Amino acid sequence: MKKFGLGKLAFTLALFCITGLTASHAQTFTSLVHFNKTNGAAPAAPLIQGPDGNFYGTTSGGGVNNAACDGQSCGTLFRITPEGTLTTLYRFCSRTNCNDGADPGNIVLGADGNIYGVTATGGINCHELAIIGCGTIFRFSPSRKLTTLYSFCPQTNCPDGWNPDSLVLGSDGSLYGTTFHGGMTTIDGYGTFFKITPAGVFSALHSFCTQTSCLDGGQPENLTQANGNFYGTTYEGGTDKDRCGIIFQITPAGMVTALHSFNVAQGCFIHSPVTMATDGNLYGANSSGGGPHRRGMVYQLTPSGEFTDLYSFCALTDCADGDFPTAGLVQATDGNFYGTTRGGLTRPVNDGTIFEITSDGTLTTLYSFNSAPQAASGGFPIASLLQATDGNFYGTTSSGGRGYGTAFKVSTGLAPCVAANPSFGKVGGEVMILGSNLTGVTGVTFNGVSAAFQVVSSTSIKATVPSGATTGTIQVTTPSGTLNGNIAFQVVP
């Protein structure tokens, strides 16, 4: 299988909420941007929030028409303000032979304030494969300079992998990710797990499907960082006879542990990113499996390996509750999970939903999309939602609006938040805290220990992890109240 649309990213910001405020189930949907191909097309990766309070993302198409992209356009990197003003920051495949990559996917905010990301195709080693390989890792600076840090497949048979699928920030300051193809088997192999430093030093740490009977899975789909390790799913492999894929844990050194093997009833082949929740369990969604219709499910996996189908979609007439969830779940500041489905009840077409689900499986449909030309919402969301520091959710649809997808906001009544980037760090290390109206902050503590801090702007603070700090809650004191963490900040050695 060749994989081109990415749309998977670990959400690495730790979210914090104002104590005592609770969510309302009332919601307001706002369409912010309509992609028109010139400014991008088919956004497929989650948005991230920058230190300037704006949102950043990629489109897999649109931008520059280029023969190397089969006569189509090769994708963009963009910025959106909370009010919906879009700026195209970079058009991929704008350099000779797509040396800068094409079909960009996941991006992540680095600890240094730069944006890092991957492109699924292009790069200096794959001119003849601009559409089907090999991919790049890039850095984009606040001054709007794009630097290609690594182009995949510099060696015969691509032992480093190709078609990168995900990128996350590790606790050592390096970036870790996966490729969907390549590795130590053949050029059409089962993918790799890799590490790259911000300076561009690359290391391939694991080739998938190298354990007997592919017990370590094949073709990793996504990656999430939690508790010092990484978690993800694979498209295939595992102990089930149908090789439906696995949930895995992998250490920064590349040691893989299979935590669960999927079967047909639980969903084969296409799985969303997993989320490590505050209760210590993993949660995720599959676009197949679940119930008699097998049109997708939300599941829970405990540390002991107990797998539970929390909700099977298409349980209501005409699939009014949605079907085929592709994006990952986001645990919000109310403790519940939020996600999207690609299908659902919007007659005469089923164009997806936004839903809320509790840890015990109670699901509420918040919004149904409609991709018809006259409708503003767009349809077929495939990227995970982002809960921003204003408490609202932001996301994208891959089509509709004016034909090429949209960006939207959903307000559910959740309180404004702050976010620590990264959500882990060493004593003496610097952490960026994102939010709004931060100019009046008077104190920051790490699990009760006061920290030195500097207010950079109304939307960001720089704080130093203090001596004596331990893993626990960050508190930010503002004139309007104290912002308390519902996710522990991890103090690492």
- For the stretch 62-80, pLDDT in tens is 887 665 565 566 899 999 9
- For the stretch 239-289, pLDDT in tens is 988 899 999 999 999 999 999 999 999 988 788 899 999 899 999 999 888
Between the alpha carbon of residue 203 and those of residues 191, 206, 211, the distances in Å are: 14, 9, 20
pLDDT score at 265:
92
- Does pLDDT of 3 surpass 70? no
User: CA 492, CA 473: separation in Å to the nearest integer?
Assistant: 14
- Does pLDDT of 86 surpass 80? yes
Q: Is 169 helix (H, G, I), strand (E, B) or coil?
A: strand
- Does pLDDT of 188 surpass 50? yes
- Does pLDDT of 52 surpass 80? yes
390: Cα separation from own chain's centroid: 19
Q: Say if CB 456 and CB 51 are below 8 A apart.
A: yes
- Does pLDDT of 25 surpass 60? no
Structure tokens at 300: 């829970």
3-state secondary structure 342-360: CECCECCECCCEEEEECCC
Q: Is 418 helix (H, G, I), strand (E, B) or coil?
A: strand
Q: Say if CB 16 and CB 477 are below 8 A apart.
A: no
**Phi-psi bin for 315: left (phi > 0), alpha (psi -120 to 50), beta?**
alpha
Structure tokens at 108: 């992540």
Cross-strand partners of 152: none
Structure tokens at 424: 């882990």
Under 8 Å CB-to-CB from 85, ≥6 apart: which residues? none
Q: Say if CB 181 and CB 219 are below 8 A apart.
A: yes
pLDDT score at 345:
58
486 falls in which pLDDT band (50, 70, 90)? low
14 falls in which pLDDT band (50, 70, 90)? very low
Q: How many Cα atoms within 13 Å fall on the side-chain side of residue 96?
A: 0
Q: Say if CB 179 and CB 213 are below 8 A apart.
A: no
Structure tokens at 168: 């996350």
- For the stretch 430-477, pLDDT in tens is 999 998 889 899 999 999 999 999 999 999 999 999 999 998 878 889
187 falls in which pLDDT band (50, 70, 90)? low
The whole model's pTM is what? 0.91
- For the stretch 109-165, pLDDT in tens is 998 889 999 999 888 887 555 556 689 999 999 999 999 999 999 988 889 999 998
For the ranges 17-21, 23-27, 139-143, the maximum mean pLDDT occurs at: 139-143
pLDDT score at 24:
40
**Residue 171 gets which letter from DSSP?**
T
Tell me the CA end-to-end span of the chain in Å, nearest whole number: 40
User: CA 131, CA 2: separation in Å to the nearest integer?
Assistant: 10
Q: What are phi and psi of 101, to 5 degrees?
A: 90, 170
pLDDT score at 23:
36
Q: What is the mean pLDDT of residues 180-184?
A: 89
215: Cα separation from own chain's centroid: 25
Q: How many Cα atoms within 13 Å fall on the side-chain side of residue 135?
A: 33
Q: How many Cα atoms within 13 Å fall on the side-chain side of residue 23?
A: 21
Domains in the chain: ranges and CATH? 26-310+407-411 (2.130.10.10), 423-491 (2.60.40.10)
Q: What are phi and psi of 129, to 5 degrees?
A: -120, 35
Q: What is the mean pLDDT of residues 82-91?
A: 96
User: CA 132, CA 122: separation in Å to the nearest integer?
Assistant: 8
- For the stretch 338-396, pLDDT in tens is 999 987 654 555 689 999 999 999 999 999 888 776 677 888 899 999 999 889 999 99
Q: Is the dihedral of CA 350, 352, 357, 360 positive or negative?
A: positive
- Does pLDDT of 11 surpass 70? no
